[in-house]
Structure 1
Amino acid sequence: MATDYDTPRKTDDDVNEDSIEELKARRNDKSTSTVDVDEFDQAESLELPGADLSNEELSVRVLPRQADEFTCMSCFLVHHRSQLATEKNGNPICRDCAA
């Protein structure tokens, strides 16, 4: 008789455990689990896109561009001068955009 060595081997104890009645009982136990219900209080605290933020204040300090920084004219991000790759038509381009 050919033996399939890839199949998991079961001992006599494992075969006795997996009777059809026990498997049906396990399945019925799992189906009687409770369903979580979202509370409305949590939904009220969410902010929707396009919400009115006119009364909100900026919570970070914004610094002006420093002397050793430049604004990339491709991605419009402020970078340190060490990130300057080239200048196209007199406009600085960072290494990320030049790659």
Structure 2
Amino acid sequence: MATDYDAPRRSESDEVSADSLEELTARRNEAQSAVVDVDEGETVESFELPGADLSGEELSVRVVPKQADEFTCSSCFLVHHRSRLADEDSNDMLCRDCA
């Protein structure tokens, strides 16, 4: 049960006599509401699903192969510049973020 520390304190005898079982049940039922707030402005069309059909879209991305001064991190599998290599002496190619 949540306690309101700002409310004035009552003694235990006042609390037992004032709070009957019916009164507590009525208060709990008032606090719980079965009504769900639905925003009519939000429609299903406004959501873009991850598997959406993009057949009408034309995407052009230039893919560049890994350069001589780059490495692939063995932990996150991202391609980084050699300056991001955590430990050049180690056999593991780890970026600074993963090290």
**TM-score, structure 1 length as denominator?**
0.47
More strand by share: 1
TM-score, scaled to structure 2: 0.47
